[in-house]
Structures are given as C-alpha cells and as structure tokens.
Amino acid sequence: MNSSIVRIIVGQVLKVEAALLLLPCMTALVYQERAGWYYLLTAAICLAVGFIFTLRKSKNDVFYLKEGCAATALSWIFLSIFGALPFYISGEIPSYIDALFETVSGFTTTGSSILSDVEVLSRTALFWRSFTHWVGGMGVLVFLLAIIPLSGGSNFNLMKAESPGPSVGKLVPKVAYTARILYTIYLGISILELVLLLLGGMTVYEALLTTFGTAGTGGFGFLNSSMASFSPYLQWVITIFMILFGVNFNAYYFILFKKAKKAFQMEEVRAYFLIILAAVAMITGDLVRTMDFSNALRTSAFQVGSIITTTGFSTADFNVWSQTSRTILVLLMFIGACAGSTGGGIKVSRILVLIKTMLKELNSFLHPKSIKKIKMDGKPIEHEVVRATNVFFCTYMMLFAISVLLISLEGHDLVTNFTAVAATFNNIGPGLELVGPAANFGFMNSFSKIVLIFDMLAGRLELFPLLILCHPVLWKEVISRKSKIVQSRNLDRKY
Amino acid sequence: MFEFLNPGKKKKGQLGLKIIIVGCGKVGITLVERLSREGHDITIIDQEGTVVTEIANLYDVMGIMGNGASYSVQMEAGIDEADLIIAVTESDELNLLCCTIARRVGHCAAIARVRTPDYNIESDYLRDKLDLAMIINPELEASREAARILLLPSALEVNSFAHGQAEMIKFQVPEGNIMHGKTVSGLRKELRSEVLICAIERDGEVHIPDGEFIIHENDILSFVATREDTIGFFDHIGFKTNRVKNTMIIGGGKAAYYLASQLIKMGIGVKIIEIDKARCEKLSILLPKAIIINGDGTDQDLLEEEGIEYAESFVPLTGIDEENILLTLYARQVSQAKVITKINRINFKDVISNLDLGSVLYPRYITSEAIIAYVRAKTNSTSNNIETLYHMFDHRVEAIEFHVAEESEITNVPLKDLKLKKDMLLCFISRNEKIIIPGGHDRILKGDTVMVVTRDTGFNDIRDILE
C-alpha cells in the first residue's frame, strides 16, 4: 500500500479541521466565553500535526481503492480524536471516552449524546457540537476534493469511500467539480433553511445550530427538550428540510441543470417519498386517538422525517407511543435515507435492489431458466452492484448482531440494546426505552461506548472502509513496502 | 451563480476542453491518460461496462456505457456542450457514424480513426464531406514514422503537417557544405525540388529568412518539403542520409501495406513475407513492385532462405508483439540490418528499452501524439481554424497550420499583392492533397490548408498574417 499518500491526505484533513475550529472560536468571541481558547489551542495542535504529516512529499501519487478506503477511515478517526479535545481540555465533558463519543456522534451525524443536560454547556461547545454535523454530513474528504487539487487521477476512490450509497456516480467528468457541485447544493439548501428559520423568529444562534443539525441529518439539540418547544411553523420548516436533505443530491443537480424530468424519474426518490407518506399516514392514524388531527399530523411527520433521514430530532417522546408506532419508527431506522444524501441507514436504493433481487429469485423458482436483469431507473444494474448490495446487507446484519451481543454484556433490556445499536449504527441518535428521546447514552460503561463509537463510524462510512482498516494484509503491506515498483512507476511517468 | 461549477462556459485558457472519447481500446486509454493529465474534462463511452468502470476508477473522467453512435448516449455524455469528440472504436464505420451524428447534434469538432486502406485513399474526401476535424490512421502514421527512420538519419528532428504530407525538418549545415555562402533565393533556383527554408538559428538567434539571407556553416536550418523532395534535397547538398536500399517486412497487414507503398515510392526494394495465401495475392495486386513471399515469417529456415543476413533493413509487423520482438532480436543476431520494432499492446516499457530492438514504434503513442497536438492547438486558440501548432526553437517560433474555411480578404489574391507581416513566412499551401510551396503568383483559395511560421505568437486566424 502507498502509505505516504494516505499520510498526506490525513494531514490535509487535519489542516482543514484546524480551519473549521476557528468558527467556534468566533462564537466564543461573540459571546465573550473563555472556552474559545481551548478551541484555538486544538486548532493549533491540528495544524501542527497536519503540517508534520504533510512535510514529506509522497514518492508517488498512485492511488487505488484500498488507499482511498484507508485514507477515509483514518481521516475520520483522526478527525474525531482531535475534535474531541476541546470538550475534554475545557473540562465540560470530564471523561475522554465520553468526549470522543460525543464528537464521533457529531461527525457521523448520529446525534446520540451522553449528556443529560446540554443547556449547561457553553455556547461555544454547543456550536462546535452541532457544526460537526454539518461537516460530517457531506463529508470532509469531499470538501477536501472540492478545494484542494489533489494530484493523481484516481482520487475518485476517496469520494467512493466516503459517499453513501451502493454505486457512486459522477455528475461531471472531474471529481473536483462534482465535489464542488455537491457542496454548493448543500450550502444553498442550508442557507435557505437558515433564512426560513430566522423568519420564524429564531435567534441567529439557534437557527444556525438547528440548520447544522438538519443539514447533516445529525440531530444534536441545544435544548434538553430537543425541538418540542418551538412553534408549529418552525417544526414544519425543520420537518420539510430534514426530508429534503435525505433526498439524493443528484436529483437537485438535475433540477438545477434543467433536467428536472430526470429528477422526478429517479425510482429511489419516488420510493423514499412513498415510504414517508405511508409511515406518516399510519402514525397519524395511531396518534389521532390521543390528540387533535393537526397536532398528530405535525408530530408524526416530524418524527417520521427525523427517523427516516436519520436526523434524530424529536418533538415528542415517541418512547411512550403505541407499540405499532414504535415498530414503524424502528423499521424506518433501518431503511434510512436516499443514497447520495447526507443521511445514514441501509439506504432506500439498497432496499429497492434487495427487494428486486428477491422478486427475481422468486421468479426463478417459477421459470428456472429465465434470464432477467435487475433494472433501476430503466437501466440494468450491473451484477457487481447487486452483489455488493447483498454483501453489504449480510455484513451489516452480522456487525449488528455482534454489536447487540457486546452491548448486552452490560445487562440492560433487549429493546434498549437493540435500539441503541440501531440508533448509532444507522446514525440516527435516540433509540427506545433507556436510550429513548428523553434519555441519553451516558449511563453505559466505557466498553459499550467504544463499541457504539465503532458502530457510528462503520455506519457513516458504510462498513467496508473501516473494516478494511482491520485487515491484516493491509498492515503487512505498509510494513514491508517494495520500493522497486515505485521506482519503475516513476520512470514510467517521466517517459 | 453556478458558472464556476460548469466548466462548459469556458473562458480562454482557464479550463480544459470538454472531450468525449468513444471506444476504450489501446489508443482510447492512452488518450484518456494523456488528456486527463493535461486537465481536460473527459467523458468516455464504451460498450463494455467493466472497461468503463475500470478507467473511471483509475483516471479523473466520467464513464458512460453504451453505443457511442447512438443519439441518446451522446446526449447523456453532453455532446451539446462538448468541444471535441474522438471516435477510436474498433470499427471504422462506427467511428465515422459517431462523428457524423455528433456533428449534427453538437457544435464540437470531430476526430475519427479510420484504418481500412479503402477509406484511407478517400480520407480527404471523407473529412471534407463529413466535416471532420481530423481522420487519423494509426497504421499509416506508424508506417510513415518507420519509413522516416529507414530513409532519414535519426539525428534530424521531424514534425509532420498537412496530415503527414509535408514535413518540417531541422538539421545543422555541416562544415564545408556547398550551401555555405549561398543566399536562400539562390539556393532555391539551384535546386529543382520544392524546398522552403523557413527558419534559421545562428548563434542563439532565430531568423525567419527572406530571399537575401546568406546561409553559413553550422546554421541550424528548418525547412519544409514533401518526403520525396527532402531526399532529393539531401542528395543535392551532399548530406549523408545513410538510407537503406532494400527492406524485409514480416506480416502483410495494413501497416505493412502502407510502409511498403511508401518505400517503393522512394525506390527501395521491398520484400514482404505473409502467411495467408489470399492476402499475398491481394498484396501482389496492390504492390506490383514488391516481392511477396507466401510463408511463415517466424520460420527461421524461411528467413535464412530469403536472405535475412543480407537485408539492409528488417521490419517485423505481425499482429503479435512478442513475435515482433523475437524476430528483431533474431535479425540483430544474424545481420547488420537496420531494425524497427512495432509494439501495439504490451506495456513493460522499461524492459523493452533494455532490449536491443533498434527503433521502437508505438502506434498508439504516435496516434495520440497527433490528437494531442490538435487538442493543444485548440486549447490555445479561440478559433476552430487552427489544425496543428508546433513550438520550435524553445517556443521562440510557432509553426501553425490554418484551415481556410471561408472567403476573406486574403483569398483569391496573388501573394505578392498581400501586405504580409514581417518575421513571418507562408511555408506551404495544401490543396487537394497536393503541397504547393508558394511563390508570388500563388493564391490562397477557400478550402486550403496554409502553414505559417512566425516569430509572433498568438495567431488565431489566417487573416492575422496581414499587417
């Protein structure tokens, strides 16, 4: 493996993090909080480490999928390790594991918290907590690709490792432009939400934090009651934007570049909206027995939007809802948002592929010799994609089962264990029972927290980049590099 | 608002071109590699999904699976905004169809690869009628290169223009040469062949000579001529070209045909060994002057019988690279022949360069060179009329080939009546596949290709030659 290029990318990511840490510093300046110094200190540390990492140039910039995966996974790990520092140094979260949990939860746009009372945190800390959502939502490497011209042609492998979805396509030929388009759409919708929230009477600070949480489909609240205390107008705005951020961003690209017809033909997006409509209808029917219709509709829409997009905001304690509604929400957790959005979960497109594979298999029992290609958006899907989707699902289930087992060692009830893993693995936030929307993850022991941290990262990076990092062959290659081939490659380039 | 995201609306020199490449074979991949490194926006189209995925993973390009000649696939690839389409699939017909459709739909320039000799004879007609920017023929280009190696000393620097019909050759005047002390116009009168001296470097200064310019020893001359005239010119001034008198070609494919016909034109004896009887008969009709041997060219006994030891040059052109390499190595062992090895497919460049293979030809690089020269010319200018652009003498002189697409104040006027810029020279006019070295009474006509050598840079149009 070409470990030097991986080192350089991680270094670049840390430099970006240093720049991002300046934003909470500005918050501290506005509110005259002392906490800002800790963020400045962390920024300096990030910059120094990033500088050291990028000091030595890479011998060659050949870049394959394994380098892309390793660089992505390591970047996210380093990002979290350093991002957790200010919480820890300032003493606002006394345990480093807790601080790490909170930061990973932020970057992976999970929104699970270990804090029982968020309102005691400094505004700077709250800002950084929510801002990590926004950064993690579209991905820090995609950001890196958008701003820094990386040499070497195959940096698409980076984007592939970080972007959610079974098959990542480019919008335009160049990765850098694709990344720039994605970030522009992301920024554009975020600003739109910010404006609408400000119109609803939120303060700038509140509106910013809410926007960060919605855009990244994160879900960190800055009030103990999450979003319940806001006006119906604001709740509707948040609902709509949560759902919008769960849509495949390719659809927005098509709309922007006058190919709107193509956007509405996307099977995944249509299925996504159908699922939302069905779930909202069922839960509203359930809730309407205890409250008036408009309230029931708003609450159910908010909760469905929040769970399917894996945001995790809440306006009601759905832990106390009927078993039917709770079950629907848990199922939505697994479905997740669209591929190519900021959301997590298995992804609607994968579910579609799985369902179609199942139907095809059924069909092959009726006509054993029939040949049928699985299609999506009217185009046949390559066998590779179908295979990768199936393998993803198997791996997902296995990791899920192992995680539930490991958490259960602590001795809580099954619903807690199951939904705790579901909520972190799918990057949602709150689960049910002990980890319900009104509770938090603070009571768990360090071991469980580490398992959940792993789950959050694995869920955000779609399993394989993180798993490949655990593969012994990769490390063997790092240790015994063969330089001969590097030399001949360089010669080749000169030729 | 999204302008900066959309590389389609380009300002000059700011961003790369939008290029669509149809077909991802050897040449296709080489083009992707080279052009993506130069920063162009590339979309590839191929029927094979796996090939497309592989290339899209390796290079910064977008891949589309499908038939490149289909309208909807071209639309998906963004033909309406593209600057250039390059069709390099296996099939000549598909390439031509791709380009024809692209010309109708978009406003892009089109380059097609056409290899069959049938079409090649008509390539100028096709290019004109189908309105293509370029028709490239890797076999022809490769055989031209091979012929050059066999005919001219390798010390020369050669650039070709007008689709290979004219060449610009750079060489140093040897000491005591008969050219010493003669004026350019005097030399021209003396020679019967059409040779135009277009740039002279002396003591680090580059001059674009007029008729009164006196040539000295050790000057570095650049002149433009056709291949035949070049040989005549060198013979006349007594410059040793060490050219061969006979050659032995193994394999009778397209490249062999092209090479043989060029060598025969120069009066060089050609012997072709081809295994397929029917092909032999066809070759004997096409090349009446060549000796065609029906037999296995990889058979050592046959090679000895046909006198490989006495061959002055030996060019294996079988379809299999490994065979070519072995044959060359064998010829090196048993004879003194000048050898040329053609490598179509295999990569191991380091290994190949360590072998004693004589001159090595890579048709895919030669082809991509030609296309890249075109793309560079297109990137550097806003007009579509520049066909090729070469920088010479460390960028101090530009040689530009213009296509004269429409009537203007410079057409139909005798050259002596035009007010031309100084430090600029009209080198040749290419009309109906003929090269004209222009005199004062010649005129530029619509449809001509004109080559200009200049010390000014930034020529965009043929009209820029006027004061």
Is pLDDT larger for residue B91 or for residue A379?
A: B91
Look at residues A461, A419, A443 and name the one whose alpha carbon lies nearest to residue A98: A443
Q: Does residue B48 form part of some domain?
A: yes
Q: How large is the greatest C-alpha to C-alpha distance in chain B, in angstroms?
A: 75
Q: Does residue B201 form part of some domain?
A: no
Q: What pLDDT sits at residue B185?
A: 80
Q: Does residue B123 form part of some domain?
A: yes
Question: CB burial class (10 A; 0-12, 13-18, 19+) of residue B175?
Answer: exposed
Domain spans of chain A, in order of start: 3-335
On chain B, the residues whose CB falls within 8 A of the CB of A256 are: 2
Mean pLDDT of the region B310-323: 88
Distance from CA of A431 to the nearest CA of B (A): 38
Q: Does residue B152 form part of some domain?
A: no
Q: Indicate if ipTM > 0.90.
A: no
Which pLDDT tens digit goes with each residue over A412-449? 999 999 999 999 999 988 888 888 888 889 899 999 99
Q: What pLDDT sits at residue A493?
A: 44
Percent of chain A residues past pLDDT 70, beyond the cut: 92
B60·A153 Cβ contact <8 A: yes
Residue B23 contacts residue B68 (beta carbons within 8 Å): yes
Can you read off the two tokens belonging to residue A231?
A: 């006006």
Residue A47 contacts residue A15 (beta carbons within 8 Å): yes
Instruction: Give the β-pairing of B246-250 and B134-136.
Output: unpaired
On chain B, the residues whose CB falls within 8 A of the CB of A495 are: 349
pLDDT band at A149 (very low <50, low <70, confident <90, very high): low
On chain B, the residues whose CB falls within 8 A of the CB of A184 are: 2, 5
A65: nearest CA partner in chain B: B57
d(CA B258, CA B317): 11
How many alpha carbons lie under 13 Å from residue A481 in its C-beta half-sphere? 11
Q: Which of B251-255, B344-348, B407-411 is predicted most confidently?
A: B251-255
Name the domain boundary from B88, B108, B136.
B136
pLDDT band at B432 (very low <50, low <70, confident <90, very high): confident
Q: Residue A495: which of B6, B62, B349 has the nearest Cβ?
A: B349
Is pLDDT larger for residue B243 or for residue B395?
A: B243
The domain of B446 spans 367-465
Number of domains in chain B: 3
Is pLDDT larger for residue B393 or for residue B442?
A: B442
Look at residues B18, B22, B25, B30 and name the one whose alpha carbon lies nearest to residue B367: B30
Is pLDDT larger for residue A208 or for residue B348?
A: A208
On chain B, the residues whose CB falls within 8 A of the CB of A65 are: 57
Q: Residue A363 to residues A354, A367, A370, A374, B405: CA-CA distances in angstroms?
A: 14, 6, 8, 12, 61
In one-letter notation, the amino acid at residue A23 is L
Distance from CA of A294 to the nearest CA of B (A): 39
Q: What pLDDT sits at residue A470?
A: 83
Question: CB burial class (10 A; 0-12, 13-18, 19+) of residue A299?
Answer: buried
B303 and B381 fall within a common domain: no
d(CA B236, CA A452): 87
A158: nearest CA partner in chain B: B57
Q: Residue B214 to residues B156, B182, B427: CA-CA distances in angstroms?
A: 22, 5, 19
**CATH code of the domain in which B450 resides:** 3.30.70.1450
Which pLDDT tens digit goes with each residue over A243-257? 999 998 888 988 887
A172·B41 Cβ contact <8 A: yes
Q: Residue B62: which of A153, A170, A491 has the nearest Cβ?
A: A170
Residue B200 contacts residue B206 (beta carbons within 8 Å): yes
Buried b (16+ CB within 10 A) or exposed e, A385-422: bbebbeebbeebeebbeebbebbbeeebeebbbbbbbb
Name the domain boundary from B75, B101, B136.
B136
Count residue pairs from A and B with Cβ separation < 8 A. 55
B2·A177 Cβ contact <8 A: no
Q: Residue B36: which of A153, A160, A382 has the nearest Cβ?
A: A153
Mean pLDDT of the region B66-93: 88
**CATH code of the domain in which B97 resides:** 3.40.50.720
Buried b (16+ CB within 10 A) or exposed e, B325-360: bebbebbbeebebbbbbbbbeeeeeeebeeeebbbb
Q: Does residue B202 form part of some domain?
A: no
Residue A226 sits at φ, ψ, to 5 deg, of: 55, -115
Q: What pLDDT sits at residue A466?
A: 87
pLDDT band at A489 (very low <50, low <70, confident <90, very high): very low
Can you read off the two tokens belonging to residue B450?
A: 């004109």
Mean pLDDT computed over every residue of chain A: 86
Q: What pLDDT sits at residue A43?
A: 94
Distance from CA of A174 to the nearest CA of B (A): 6
Q: Residue B43: which of A154, A173, A175 has the nearest Cβ?
A: A173
Name the domain boundary from B136, B164, B190.
B136
In one-letter notation, the amino acid at residue A364 is S
Distance from CA of A133 to the nearest CA of B (A): 25
A153·B7 Cβ contact <8 A: no
B7·A174 Cβ contact <8 A: yes
A487: nearest CA partner in chain B: B350
d(CA A175, CA B62): 9
Mean pLDDT of the region A450-455: 94
Look at residues B79, B8, B65 and name the one whose alpha carbon lies nearest to residue B40: B8
B416 and B450 fall within a common domain: yes
A155·B5 Cβ contact <8 A: no
Q: Does residue B234 form part of some domain?
A: no
Which pLDDT tens digit goes with each residue over B180-209? 888 888 887 777 667 888 888 888 788 888
B448 and B327 fall within a common domain: no
- Residue B405 pLDDT > 80: no
B355 and B371 fall within a common domain: no
CA dihedral A431, A434, A435, A437 (to 10 degrees): 80
On chain B, the residues whose CB falls within 8 A of the CB of A69 are: none
d(CA B319, CA B327): 12
A179: nearest CA partner in chain B: B5
Mean pLDDT of the region A38-47: 93
d(CA B393, CA B207): 11
Q: Does residue B387 form part of some domain?
A: yes
Residue A140 contacts residue A75 (beta carbons within 8 Å): yes
pLDDT band at A239 (very low <50, low <70, confident <90, very high): very high
Residue B22 contacts residue B86 (beta carbons within 8 Å): yes
Sheet bearing B220-225, strands edge to edge: B157-161, B166-172, B220-225, B196-202, B205-207
Q: What pLDDT sits at residue B14?
A: 43
Distance from CA of B350 to the nearest CA of A (A): 7
Q: Residue A174: which of B49, B60, B350 has the nearest Cβ?
A: B60
Q: Residue A492: which of B5, B37, B349 has the nearest Cβ?
A: B349
d(CA B339, CA B368): 24
Mean pLDDT of the region A70-90: 91
- Residue B4 pLDDT > 80: no
Q: Which residues pair with B293 in a beta bridge?
A: B273
- Return the HEC string of chain A: CCHHHHHHHHHHHHHHHHHHCHHHHHHHHHHCCCCHHHHHHHHHHHHHHHHHHHHCCCCCCCCCHHHHHHHHHHHHHHHHHHHCHHHHHCCCCCCHHHHHHHHHHHHCCCCCCCCCCHHHCCHHHHHHHHHHHHHHHHCHHHHHHHHCCCCCCCCHHHHHHHCCCCCCCCCCCCHHHHHHHHHHHHHHHHHHHHHHHHHCCCCHHHHHHHHHHHHCCCCCCCCCCCCCCCCHHHHHHHHHHHHHHCCCHHHHHHHHCCCHHHHHCCHHHHHHHHHHHHHHHHHHHHHCCCCCHHHHHHHHHHHHHHHHCCCCCCCCCHHHCCHHHHHHHHHHHHHCCCCCCCCCCCCHHHHHHHHHHHHHHHHHHHCCCCCCCCEECCEECCHHHHHHHHHHHHHHHHHHHHHHHHHHCCCCCHHHHHHHHHHHHCCCCCCCHHHCCCCCCCCCCHHHHHHHHHHHHHHHCCCHHHHHHCCHHHHHHHHCCCHHHHHHHHHHHHC
Mean pLDDT computed over every residue of chain B: 82
- Residue A347 pLDDT > 70: yes
Q: What pLDDT sits at residue A155?
A: 67
Q: What pLDDT sits at residue A223?
A: 84
Residue A46 contacts residue A25 (beta carbons within 8 Å): no
Q: What pLDDT sits at residue A46?
A: 93
Q: What pLDDT sits at residue B380?
A: 66
A382·B49 Cβ contact <8 A: yes
In one-letter notation, the amino acid at residue A38 is Y
B2·A488 Cβ contact <8 A: no
Question: CB burial class (10 A; 0-12, 13-18, 19+) of residue A120?
Answer: exposed
A184·B349 Cβ contact <8 A: no
